[in-house]
Amino acid sequence: MTVAQLRNDEMVALLRADLLPASDRNVCLSLADMGGNSFTAEETHPLSDVRFNGAPTLYGYNAGSGEITVNEPGIYWIQFAGTIQNSTGAAAAEAGMWLQADAGSGFATVVGASFSVYLPAAANWRASGSRSVILRLGAGHKLRLRVARTQGTDTLAVVAQGSTLEIVRLIGLGSA
């Protein structure tokens, strides 16, 4: 067998390795916010646009509640980002966005999965933040994004098309 043939056989083996069943592949859910929502108090931030769902049986999304349900256990990489602006800019303000998870006993903030932004006293000033985290999730775990004004008196808004959330299963854990 020639060296060229050996390399070709190795390439074919690599290409076949990529033909795994969906249950064994990394699969992604990507959500975005299509309409900016105003807020002054803590609230769930809805992500109304499902940009991509590579595995509809793996991820469920309820636009009404803003909750993502993970249907299979695994190790997941989650990234979220948001751009927040003040309305009138009459006063400086601070805002935060964070990820919460519910394993069946109620939602709790995921440690290390939050960011905050500062908005100076200037109308329509924008500030952005993002965060990513790797979590072990079980079947039925739910996720949601929360947002709140933490300082100041101005009405704030998440900019239209200014927030996203992506979740990718890195490793499936079967029935673990």
Chain segment 41-76, per-residue pLDDT in tens: 888 888 877 777 777 778 888 888 889 999 999 999
In the prediction, which pLDDT does 139 show? 93
In the prediction, which pLDDT does 4 show? 47
Structure-model confidence comparison of residues 25 and 118, the more confident one: 118
Q: Which candidate, 163, 162, 147, places its Cα nearest to that of 44?
A: 147
Check if the beta carbon of residue 77 is closer than 8 Å to that of residue 119. Answer: no
d(CA 12, CA 52): 29
In the prediction, which pLDDT does 91 show? 86
pTM of the model: 0.80
- Token digits of residue 134: 């790797």
CATH ID of 23-172, from 2.70.180.20, 2.60.120.40, 2.30.38.10, 2.40.110.10: 2.60.120.40
Stretch 89-105: mean pLDDT: 91
| 168 beta partners | 28, 77
Contacts of 61 (CB under 8 A, 6+ apart): 29, 31, 47, 50, 53, 67, 68, 69
